[in-house]
A and B are shown apart, each in its own frame.
Chain A
Amino acid sequence: MDSNIIIKLNKVNFYYGQSRALTDITMNFRKNKVSALIGPSGCGKSTLLRLLNRMNDLIDGTKVEGEILFEDMNIYSKDVDPVEIRRKVGMVFQKPNPFPKTIYNNISYGPKLTSMNTDDLDALVEQSLKQAVLWDEVKDILNKSAMNLSGGQQQRLCIARALAMKPDILLMDEPTSALDPISTAKIEELIEELKKNYTIIIVTHNMQQAARISDETAFFYLGNLVEYNKTEKIFTNPDVKHTEDYITGRFG
């Protein structure tokens, strides 16, 4: 596999029971890039995101066909441990979901549960919070409940919590849709910073957000990948008329 590619999907089909949610998806995600998945509700973008760290395994009656290679390893092989995949491919959700614990324990919880080397938890907590640009705001209240933080701070805490597991990829499912514009701007700036060290794949309904922060954008419709191109191309002169109709609001 090309060393710039971290995830490769090859003819992926996905079913919820009898219903096919994704059809023949073939695409590559590049290392240290931000890729945005856009499309109307029900188009399969969140389903695809959850396929990448085997979150869909948790739903009964689902079936995956095709290959999803993470650095040459088919993550759906029988011998692959989904927990290990989820460690390497972290996820941040739409609504901030901190544990009802202290800020410190939110970060240290995952590393302690797994077999990670946790000799210096304090350093790991500090490093993760710094990477999520939250350290300065919480360094004096690490033993306070995370539930007291603002929505934007909670979301950055969730990002820090994901980073503490030292993933290669961060999946983000509409990470700012529940946040105010200032918190959104902070998360977007953070994403710009994080892509130096991580690959980020983000689902967003906010077209301008996709345009602002992503390097590549994929447009999905009814479970099909309609167009996958450089973000600049998608938002100035897309190749497919269907993409243009969607991003310009000529839809439905």
Chain B
Amino acid sequence: MEEKRHTSSHYEMELQEIKDGLIYIGALTEKAIQMALQSLTERNSDIAHKVIKDDDEIDKMDTELEERCIKILALRQPTAIDLRFITTAIKITGHLERIGDMAVNIAEKAIQLNEEPKLKPYIDLPRMADLVGEMIKKSLDSFINNDLNMAEEVRRTEEITDDLNEQIFRELLTFMMEDSQTIHRSLMIMQVSKNLERIADHAKGIADMVTYMVTGECVRHQTCALDKKEPA
């Protein structure tokens, strides 16, 4: 159901600015992941250095958005859906900032890997990167459109990234067992894969918060059980 507009147009605008800001950080993180992987597959460390440098913008936006949310909490004293929106936005910006850090981790590993002979063609890692990029996009779309189905789709995709991570881990294990010369490179590729898997976890975290925002129910943990309605 489409939300009615606030009586205060300034308040409406402030909430819209939070949404816009999150979409902007989301786009930056998606690009950072894509570029970090590009740096690896194209063996171009300049791209990786750019990812590391551009993370400052993500950090800056994270701080700025958090401050805006705190200002709304203090000055507007939001309730109900607005309260859940703001608390969700604060959590989402935290998730996105961490995703940016993980893209930096991948970029750093790419720089190191690019200095050594290529171990193997990268097939599953780009696939995983595409998946997690799509997860971030969908999790933010679900936030903007209050779309529970899309949030659920993100949760399902997260399981696929877990499987891919395990598959990559197993494959690299065989490389290491066959040739000890590959251990260092294999471990670094494992870390790239692990970082992508963690990014997927963060995207799932965003989707879980969207479910909370829309329904008021916590789904982050199995132990989550917010008070169900009791008659007054």
A-side interface residues toward B, CB under 8 Å? 27-28, 30, 207-208, 211, 216, 228-230, 232-239, 241, 243-245, 247-252
Contact = CB atoms under 8 A, between A and B. Distances in A.
B79 A247 contact: yes
B120 interface: no
Interface string B218-232: 000000000101101
Given A247-B79, A248-B79, A233 B227 contact: yes
Which of A211, A243, A245 has the most C-beta atoms of chain B within 10 angstroms of its own C-beta? Answer: A245
A248 B82 contact: yes
B174 interface: no
Nearest to A30: B232
Contacts of B3: 250
Given A236-B79, A237-B80, A245 B4 contact: yes
* Top 3 A-B pairs, shortest CB-CB distance: A237-B216, A250-B4, A244-B80
Given A237-B80, A250-B4, A250-B7, A216 B229 contact: no
Interface of B: 1, 3-8, 11, 77-84, 215-216, 227, 229-230, 232
Contacts of B5: 250
Nearest to B11: A249
Contacts of B216: 236-237
A251 B1 CA distance: 16
Contact of A248 (B1, B78, B230, B232): B78
A252 B80 CA distance: 18
B4 to A, nearest CB: 4
B11 A233 contact: no
A235 B4 contact: no
Nearest to A33: B232
A248 B80 contact: yes
A19 B132 CA distance: 61
B1 A241 contact: yes
Contact of B7 (A235, A236, A243, A251): A251
Nearest to B76: A249
B1 A235 contact: no
Nearest to B215: A237
Contacts of A207: 79
A249 B7 contact: yes
Given A28-B232, A211-B79, A237-B215, 10 more contacts: A27-B232, A230-B230, A233-B229, A237-B84, A237-B216, A244-B81, A245-B4, A248-B81, A249-B8, A250-B6
Nearest to A28: B232
Contacts of A235: 79-80, 83
Contacts of A27: 232
Contacts of B79: 207, 211, 235-236, 247-248
B83 A236 contact: yes
A252 B7 contact: yes
A228 B232 contact: yes
Contacts of B1: 241
B166 to A, nearest CB: 38
B132 to A, nearest CB: 31
A208 B80 contact: no
6 contacts: A211-B79, A230-B227, A237-B80, A247-B79, A248-B80, A248-B81
A236 B77 contact: no
A249 B6 contact: yes
Nearest to A243: B80
Which of B4, B82, B83 has the most C-beta atoms of chain A within 10 angstroms of its own C-beta? Answer: B4
Contacts of B84: 236-237
B77 A208 contact: yes
A230 B232 contact: yes
A82 B6 CA distance: 44
B147 to A, nearest CB: 18
A245 B6 CA distance: 8
Contacts of B77: 208
A7 to B, nearest CB: 13
Contacts of A230: 227, 230, 232
A226 to B, nearest CB: 13
Contacts of A239: 229
Contacts of A245: 4
Nearest to B228: A233
Contacts of B215: 237
Contacts of A30: 232
B213 to A, nearest CB: 10
Nearest to A232: B227
